[in-house]
Structure 1
Amino acid sequence: MATLDTSVLNSINQTTTSSGVTDSTQSVSSTEELNDQFMTLLVAQMQNQDPMDPVSNSDLTAQLAQISTVSGIEELNTTLEGITAQISSSEALQAASLLDQGVLVGGNAVLVGNATSTPFGLELADDVDNATVEVLGADGSVVKTFELGALEAGIHGFVWDGLLDDGTEAADGSYQLVVTAERAGESYDDLQTLSYGVVSGVNQTDSGAQLDLGPVLGVVSLDAVRQVL
């Protein structure tokens, strides 16, 4: 009795799926070719089977199920490709809308120029009983301290008036932020400092939209934005 060897179908399955998502033209072509190959093999099986020992219904059902599965995978790949294209297009539009907008992203820098500082932020995973922000100068010394007290979980934005602890104006330049917090009498570390940047450019890459925030913060991904100001 000649039967339709499942290894043939498995080989076809591997050939179809190994290349991943393809364009819709290739997908349709592959599906049509696969169906043609299956029908050719099925007809050959029916013509050459032993009349005294025909192929069982269960074998035929299994073979039909395999070809249906492969066709379904082809259609699913085409659908996923369309969804991916829509997501990329939406992400590009969202990134373009941020041009010239101020955003907060992960970072510990705050800039001072003409006695004016850039905003900064703090993201907390939980409520804290007390939080303190220290601003460090270029030499690592503390030049300004903010006692923030108790804060709820979430993102908090702040603005420094550019004055040092001694009341004098901070020199123009870049300063570093160091945050400490306490929760239930213990040190709390599940937090992130946020720096301010202005989106000066948008680049679309294979890994998604990239935002240019200037020489200090550099280029970040769209999902790195924690808040738009």
Structure 2
Amino acid sequence: MAAVISISGEFLMSASAISSADGASAAGALSSKAVSSADGEQRFLKLLVTQLNNQDPLNPLDNAELTSQLAQMSTVSGIEKLNTAFQSLLAQSGSSQVLQSASLIGRAVLVPGNGLALEQGAAVPFAVELPQGADSVKVTVTDAAGNTVRSLDLGALPQGVKTLSWDGKSDGGVQLADGAYTVNVAAYSGDSRVTGIALTYAGVASVSQGGNGVALDLGAGRKAALSEVRLIL
């Protein structure tokens, strides 16, 4: 029976295609470890020549089978080169994104977060994002001790981002002291809870390339992905 070489990233040859001595040598050379494209091509050609030299004269390797094996070799080599080119393209794209994102340094962005900083009694802007429309949306502002100081009933809201502002006053109209506050969102569609996301503004201090893409340094140890930016001021 004619020997068959199968190709799937590595190259294997049936024991019947070669002598026992050659078979032991080939088995040692072709381990399960990945090989480079150039090394793989050389091993393939060496095995192919060995196969041709040791084939049964009465049942030689069919031309169609030989052509198929060469085509598989070409396909594997092409895929490896394509992967290399794709990885290079991704690296260049990442570098380009960092350069483009550098223009955000010094600007304010609207990103997921629930921390509000009240300073000198000035109004604090924030926003609410809904993945779907809701019949009832309520926003509460709590102080550092967890006490609710302001409640806002927004009624029904459609899907999307709704920009809002807190005047820094309590429900009783009293101006609250400067400091850190927290905003929370509760949204419902009928009896079902809707995941409302609080969005706050933060200044971009720097940008960097991370494992998940471009990351924005918002100061105070806070970071956000470029994909999380909803609005740029």
The reply to whether residue 47 of structure 1 matches residue 49 of structure 2 is no
Residue equivalent to 1:205: 210
When the two chains are superposed, the root-mean-square deviation of aligned CA atoms in Å is 2.5
Among residues 7, 10, 15, which one is paired with 2:34 in the alignment? 15
Q: Shift of residue 132 of structure 1?
A: 1.4
Number of residue pairs the alignment of both structures matches: 214
Cα distance between partner residues in 2 of 1:187 and 1:116: 36
The reply to whether residue 37 of structure 1 matches residue 43 of structure 2 is yes
Q: Shift of residue 5 of structure 1?
A: 4.5
Residue equivalent to 1:119: 125
How do 1:1-229 and structure 2 match up within 5 A?
3=3, 5-6=5-6, 9-10=11-12, 11=30, 15-16=34-35, 30-183=36-189, 185-215=190-220, 218-229=222-233
Cα deviation, 1:27-60, whole Å, max 9, x if unaligned, reads: xxx4333333322332332233222110123532
Cα distance between partner residues in 2 of 1:180 and 1:205: 33
Distance 1:13 1:62, change over 3 A: farther
Residue equivalent to 1:24: none
**Contact residue 120 and residue 196 of structure 1 kept, 8 A:** yes
Larger radius of gyration: 2
**Contact residue 126 and residue 152 of structure 1 kept, 8 A:** yes
Q: What amino acid does structure 1 have at the position aligned with 2:219?
A: G
**Contact residue 136 and residue 175 of structure 1 kept, 8 A:** yes
Identity of aligned residues (%): 40
Distance 1:179 1:2, change over 3 A: closer
Scaled by the length of structure 2, the TM-score of the pair is 0.80
Equivalent position SS for 1:129: strand
Q: Shift of residue 218 of structure 1?
A: 1.0
Cα deviation, 1:156-179, whole Å, max 9, x if unaligned, reads: 111212222222222111111122
Q: Shift of residue 154 of structure 1?
A: 0.7
Q: Unpaired runs of 5+ in structure 2?
A: 13-29
Residue equivalent to 1:23: none
Cα distance between partner residues in 1 of 2:155 and 2:5: 73
Cα distance between partner residues in 2 of 1:204 and 1:53: 59
Scaled by the length of structure 1, the TM-score of the pair is 0.81
